[in-house]
Every structure is written in C-alpha cells, then in structure tokens.
Structure 1
Amino acid sequence: MADLSDVSSALVSLIAGIAYPNGTGQPSIVGNPVLVYGGWPNPVQLIADLKANKIHVSVFPTIERIVDTAASDWTVPTAPVNTITLTLSGQAVTVGGTISTPQNAALVVDSKAYVYAVQGTDTLASIATALAALVAVDQTATAAGAVVTIPNAKKISPRVGGQGTAQRETRRQERTFQISIWANCFDQRDPIAGKIDAALSNSFHLTLPDQVAALRYKSSRQDDDQQKERIYRRDLMYAVEYSTIATETDYQITVGVENITAGPSLDAQFPVKTIVE
C-alpha cells in the first residue's frame, strides 16, 4: 500500500529527474549541484551548501484533505498462475507442468474431495503418489510415475488452485506538498524553480508502488525575507490525490463443501447431507 513516505519519495524522484534529465552523473539543468530530498532542510547544512553555490529542493508534506472514506469491493489485480496441471483420461489423472509453491492439487472422486498442498521438494511423481494415497483411504487408487489411476471411480474431477493477492481501497486522500527551492541568490533560484514548476504542472500523474496518483498544482509563493543571510526561497504547492489500499493473500477455491440439515420435524428421516462441488 502507498503511504505518505511513498508519495514523498515519488515526488523526490520525479523532481530529481527534472533537475538531472541526463542522470546525476551529468550536470544539472542549471549547472549548479542540486540536492533533492524529502523533509525540511537542516539549517546548518543548508547555509553551508548555499555558500558553496549548491541548490536545495525540499519536499515537505503539509495539509491533508480526505476525499472519500468508503471502502471499495475486493479485487484481484493479477490472477494466480498455476504451474501444475491435472489431466483426466478415463480413470487416470496425469500430473504435469512444473513445480512451484504455493499450490494445491485436488481430486474430487465420487463426491469426496482429496486435496494435497504441493511442497517445494515435490516432483510430479511424488504429487501423484500423495494424491493416490489420499484416495486409497476410501477406494482403490494407485500411482505409477506421474499418473494416478482410480479404477472403480464413477466420477473424477481434477482441480488445481494457487495463491493470489486481493486488494481494496479503504480511503482516498489529497495531501498538499510544499516543494521549496533554496538558493543563495534569486538568479540561481528562479531558473530552476521555473523549470521544476513547468515540468510538474505538465505531469498530471504520479506513479506510486501500487497505483497511479493524481498530481495537481495548488499555489506558489516567493520568500526573500532572509536575503541578508543570502537565502532565497520559492515554494511550489502541489497536491497528490492517492488511495490507501489494503491487501490480503487469498487462495483459489479448489473444493466447495455445503452441509444441508433438515428441520427438526424431518431430522430423523433426512440427516445432514454433505455436498462437494
């Protein structure tokens, strides 16, 4: 999930790319060294760097506005990839594919489920052996290599289930960031401030680890109150609207079980019935 630090880091990366379009191994767009970072400047370090003709760009979070607090439905961005296959031919099931975990290999035989959790040390033959051993508790089942044979089964349904990640949006917020450009003179501050502002105003989206957020210009101001100390500053206020996302690990359902119980008046005639799907 994306949080405040992720948004700040994404802004820092975006601004650093603006200041150094050819990479940090090459000169900045204004020639002077440009330091881009999240948070507020250390006053001692700031003064020392400005004296050395370095420029600071700080990214500091300010006010937050809640946009929506309604949780969305769970979704699965990427379906699980199952690498094991179970192929039915008559009374035999062949285990194929490649081994990976976590995965479940299952056989529903005559309305009863047999599920085996694949292990990292398994082979196709060992999976077949494990499935045959589970079925053999109730009826004849043998394994030869990667093939499970159940000669007396009336119905066989092979299934494979893997693991995936589900997510949902729990809230959406807008956070305004103060992007401050610090320099020792207005003629060093203004060129890079203008270039950063122009580039950000043309960047309508911000890529976060789990989503694409909206980026909007809010306002700007200029601060020359500390010019006696040779500190010139311009603040650019940009808002980022992004979601807080909850995630959980889910497994594909390979077997569904439904218990049906008759009411008290019919309980003696119709006991509990279990249906495997």
Structure 2
Amino acid sequence: MAGLAQVSQALAYRCAQLVYPQGLGAASISGRQVVVRRGWLLPNDVFAAQGIRNQVDYLTVTMVPRNAKNLPEPLGRPWAVRKKVAATVSVLQRGAGVQIVFPSDGSEPAGVVGVAVSGGQAAVYAVTATDTPDGVAHALADQLAALGVLNITAENGYLSISDNLLLGRASGYGESVRTVRRQTQRYRLTVWTADTSVREVLGDTIDTALAEMSWLVLADGGQAQIVFAGVEDVDTMQTETLYRRDYFYDIQFDTEDVKWSADLNFIGGHFTQGIDGSWGTKIASIQPEIIENALGAVQRAAAVGGAADVYEGLYIDEFGTVKEK
C-alpha cells in the first residue's frame, strides 16, 4: 500500500543507488563517504567524529510541510485485480477420485485445492510450504467427514469416496486494489557538506538523474509520478562550515487499499448475520491460521521478479539511514 513513508523510502533508495552506483560497499561518486537518510539530520551528524566537519556528506529526504494537495480519485473507488499468482499445485482426475500433485521441480507449493462431492458438499484447503500431497488429502477428507460424507479414502495424495464421484480443482490468488485517496506531496532532497565542490558533484548527479525520470518505482511494486519543483542553495550556515542545497519534487501517488484473495473454486459459502446458514455448495470451514500462512507464502512469491527488485538488498535502519544487507 503506497503511503507518504513508502514514497520517501523509495526516493531515498533511488538516491543511494545514484550516489553509490557500484553498491554501498564501493566508492561513492564523490569519493567521500555519503550518508543517505530518510529524515532530517541528527545531532551527531554535525558534531560527532563521523560528521559533516570530518569529510562525511549527507543526503536527506524529507517532506515539505503544508505542501500536499488532494486530487480526484476514481468514482466509486472500484476494485481491480493488479497481480495474479497461479497455483503451483494441481489436481488430476483419476477415475472417481482425485490425485493431488505438487511441483516436481521442488519449488514451494502454493494454491487452493478444492474437492466437491456430487451430493453438493465441498472442501477447500490453502496449501502451505510445509504441506505434502498426502497431508492435503487427509485435511480435505477430514473436512468432508465433518459435513457428513461417509466412506472417504485418502492415501498417497489420492482422495476418493466409494460409490460417489469426486471432482477436484486448484486455483491461485489475486491481489485486488482500490484507490482510496490520490494526492500530490512535495518532497525535499537536501545535500549537506562542508565542501562546496562536493555539493556540486552530488547535487548535479542527483538532479540530472531524476530529471530523466517521470515515474518513481515504489518498494511495493507501484509507481508514483515525479515532477521537479525547484532548487535553492542555503548558505546561512557558512559560519558553521556547512553548505546545503535543497531540491524540491512534487510526487503524485495513490493511497491504496490492498486485499489478497483466492480465485473461485466452488460457488458457496457461509453467512452469520444474525442467523447461521450457508448458500450454494455446502463448504466446510477452514482454520484461519492455515489461510494466513498460505497468503504469506503467496505474497512472498508475488514479490519475486517484481518492480521492488530494483531496490533489492537495501533497507532503512532505525535512524532512517539507507543500509545494504
């Protein structure tokens, strides 16, 4: 979900990549140590041994107060599917029963396995990384038994019911999003140094690179529009041997509500609005912790190969400083 902090985080990550093109463990573009921080300077940054007066430069990312503007969001705030993750497990029909099959390449199993009896009962199971085909078959068998289905056999990932037809399905997941607010916020990138020539090197590099960008990639895979809004030198601290330059950018982005859910297996469900009941296919309930574990694995899988990979290996510590894992 994009937010004010996520935008400043992405901006700090991008600046760190520009200042350290070969990684934070290599030399910076100025040849000096440059600390990239989301947030304002700390007292130690100025007065400690590892500070601005000792050839350590800083680049900070902060929000400009009272410089935000709300923009119209889509009418009705409709939901839309932004990302889908296909199931890696499958269900094969074998005679009157079903065979649950896990990935043969050893990759992490994911997906929702469902089985339905011709009599109208159904069971679903959200597969987690620690599951086995036989374990899933037994979990489905237990759910069907709780619905009153008799003569169930579960063995080696194969599930069947004597004198009855069992149908199986496997589905994946989708990430649904809706825009709840659209806004523009002004951000300030500030170069702090005791050397005016370094201020030119850092400032020109950041300014030129960001001038080529129309869109800023966010860590959650979304994007924000970035527009240059001005620059100014602040030399009122020369008596403290401190030179500063501020670059301003207006960034437009959406605050989003994000929900992950499974694709439809069977039409049916429960309602508990005053009266317990069900509709459609009679589906057994599933333990909430199983769903949470399965969704966690799916979200990790969805992040692999996504836009967030452009910041792979970077994180922000408790002081707001960009670090490398």
Q: Please, what TM-score do these two structures have when normalized by structure 2?
A: 0.67
Residue pair 1:132, 1:142 contacting (<8 A) in 2 also = yes
Residue pair 1:139, 1:152 contacting (<8 A) in 2 also = no
Structure 2 Cα separation of the partners of residues 130 and 20 of structure 1: 51
Amino acid corresponding to residue 196 of structure 2 in structure 1: F
Q: Which runs of 5+ in 1 are unaligned?
A: 259-273
Residue pair 1:113, 1:255 contacting (<8 A) in 2 also = no
Residue pair 1:213, 1:242 contacting (<8 A) in 2 also = yes
1:73 aligns to what? 78
Cα distance change on mapping 1:17 and 1:252 into 2, 3 Å: closer
Offset at residue 13 of structure 1 (A): 1.8
Secondary structure of 1:78 counterpart: strand
Residue pair 1:104, 1:162 contacting (<8 A) in 2 also = no
Q: Does 1:173 align with 2:183?
A: yes
Q: Does 1:192 align with 2:196?
A: no
Structure 2 Cα separation of the partners of residues 13 and 254 of structure 1: 41
Deviations 1:68-117 (A, max 9, x none): 3446432333334334433335534333335946634211414x122143
1:29 aligns to what? 29
Offset at residue 161 of structure 1 (A): 3.9
Note the aligned Cα RMSD (angstroms).
3.3
Cα distance change on mapping 1:109 and 1:190 into 2, 3 Å: same
Q: Which runs of 5+ in 2 are unaligned?
A: 270-278, 283-325
- 1:85-96 residue pairs with structure 2 within 5 A? 85-96=90-101
Cα distance change on mapping 1:65 and 1:92 into 2, 3 Å: same
- The percent identity for this pair of structures is 25
Offset at residue 118 of structure 1 (A): 5.7
Secondary structure of 1:213 counterpart: strand
Offset at residue 156 of structure 1 (A): 4.9
Structure 2 Cα separation of the partners of residues 235 and 109 of structure 1: 69
Secondary structure of 2:79 counterpart: coil
2:255 to 239, 244, 251: 244
Cα distance change on mapping 1:109 and 1:196 into 2, 3 Å: same
Offset at residue 250 of structure 1 (A): 1.7
User: How many pairs does the alignment contain?
Assistant: 261
Structure 1 Cα separation of the partners of residues 180 and 4 of structure 2: 15
Cα distance change on mapping 1:25 and 1:113 into 2, 3 Å: same
Residue pair 1:182, 1:231 contacting (<8 A) in 2 also = yes
2:58 aligns to what? 56
Q: Please, what TM-score do these two structures have when normalized by structure 1?
A: 0.77
- 1:145-164 residue pairs with structure 2 within 5 A? 145-150=156-161, 152-153=163-164, 156-164=166-174
1:228 to 229, 233, 239: 239
Cα distance change on mapping 1:232 and 1:109 into 2, 3 Å: same
Structure 1 Cα separation of the partners of residues 264 and 91 of structure 2: 16
Amino acid corresponding to residue 71 of structure 2 in structure 1: V
Structure 1 Cα separation of the partners of residues 250 and 261 of structure 2: 34
